[in-house]
Structure 1
């Protein structure tokens, strides 16, 4: 049955409903993420109510992907060994029908990264989360990205995101000042967050991991899962900014805000609008 958010956006389940379900399920999520992000990403998932496992080596990544409820892959600190583990895990997740999320960090920067993402895309990610420049480039258009930073606006990437979602039958999340989520048929924008968030390392990477936790909770509803993860981040970020004096104080307050959110408070504060 279709329900709606408080703002009337059609979703099969609201972010608050999915948060309550995720905390009840406490899903085990395998995260192959970069060295910079491992600690903060694990803490974010624990605060939100999921169970993280940072299993990445090729010798066990594929086997573990069959145990975990979902997989997330982030190419931030790419290496041959990391890539082998990513491919083994993503292949196993796809074969087992488990959802997996791809974060194509700066995939346009080098030939090695472009080739790696091409190989991972062939393994059919359920969700792709990236900044505007990453999504524009992944769709085959020219972006203005430099390094890991986006040089394009989220609005400029919306058309590329819709085309990419339709072409790959997946959900695309473009994150920035206002987030955009689409499955090629439905699209929403998620408002909130804080200007301090880009000044704290690895929060975007952590959002990818949290998206995996929600996808594990409702594997048949990746669009709703992605919206829920982005909404939770946006609300917690907005709340944390009210008392944080700078990026150093923001990070622990943000974790506390994630942990304190309830399904009811998330639905009451989330700002989600149809696009």
Structure 2
């Protein structure tokens, strides 16, 4: 790992990267608050009329297919063009990509545009890797470990770093891999935290030299903040504001203690 999570958090807060977040309607407010709490600057710019131009001034672009429509997809494609023309990273969140034929067509076209990072739950990553999943709508029903082999294959075929999030997260670029522990069982009970994590991956990618390090940094930040917010929370309702506070309170020194384990990658 060339840039540790604590190094990237220091860089993120020093530069406050602008992240263009094309995300679903449910997630917009939550994702914006997560980025602000972490130390980045969100912009929910998705209309095709300005998405490409705006991507040229953003530090990174994130694309989430949670609430699809043809105008939304046109804005995604425009933003990706702008990001790639400017040499900026872009992150894909393939929400419920297994659910309908429309989603499958859209997400395959997006993967073909070579995302820098793909972040999804195990069911979504299994589907992208061409395997059967137990996902139901936007809910992942598969364990992370079931998607690890598919994540490695997807990383190699797409060129993206693949982050599979769940009880224990898994990040791979097809050659390297780590598992990250932490978080809280209340996190899946709060809507759009996964979508928000995708946006945070964009913020870390904006300041990182290596997309693998960026994904590990963002997931570590979430894991440490989630574990801290869990202490004293009575349930998912009281957890939510504690989580935003914890994201803001996490220091680089705290990220140095994130629980990250190297994972063997089969040849």
* TM value normalised by structure 1: 0.94
Provide the C-alpha distance between the structure 1 equivalents of 2:126 and 2:244, rounded to a whole number of angstroms: 31
Aligned pair count? Answer: 263
Unmatched tracts of structure 2, length 5 or more: none
Match of 1:36 among 26, 47, 51: 26
Secondary structure of 1:264's aligned partner: helix
Q: Which residue of 2 aligns with 1:272?
A: 260
Aligned to 2:213: 224
Deviation beyond 3 Å, 4+ runs, structure 1? none
Aligned residue among 47, 53, 74 for 1:63: 53
After TM superposition, the structure 1 = structure 2 runs for residues 173-192 of structure 1, keeping only pairs within 5 Å, are 173-192=163-182
Indicate if the aligned counterparts of 1:17 and 1:263 stay in contact, CA closer than 8 A.
yes
SS in 1 for 2:56: helix
Cα distance in structure 1, aligned partners of 2:201 and 2:182? 17
Is it true that 1:124 corresponds to 2:133 in the alignment?
A: no
Q: Which residue does the alignment assign to 1:108? A: 98
CA RMSD of the aligned region, Å? 0.7
CA displacement 1:173-230 (0-9 Å, x = unmatched)? 0000000000111000000000000000100000000000000011x31000100000
Alignment of 1:1-275 (within 5 A): 11-218=1-208, 220-268=209-257, 270-275=258-263
- 1:196 & 1:150 partners in 2: Cα distance? 15
How many angstroms does 1:97 deviate by?
A: 1.4
Looking at structure 2, the residues matched to 62 and 113 of structure 1 have their Cα atoms a distance apart, in angstroms, of 22
Partners of 2:31 and 2:5 lie apart in 1 by: 20
State whether residues 112 and 158 of structure 2, in contact with CA within 8 Å, keep that contact through their aligned partners in structure 1. no
Query: The residue matched to 2:133 in structure 1 has which SS?
Result: coil
- Does structure 2 retain, via aligned residues, the 8 Å contact 1:194–1:241? yes
User: 1:64 is paired with a residue of what secondary structure?
Assistant: helix
Larger deviation, residues 202-211 vs 244-253: 244-253
Q: What TM-score does the superposition give when structure 2 sets the normalisation length? A: 0.97
* Conservation of the 8 A alpha-carbon contact between 1:94 and 1:123: no
Residue 95 (structure 1) shift: 2.3
Structure 1 residue 246: Cα displacement: 1.0
Q: Secondary structure in 2 aligned to 1:228?
A: helix
SS in 2 for 1:60: helix
User: 1:142 deviation in Å?
Assistant: 1.2
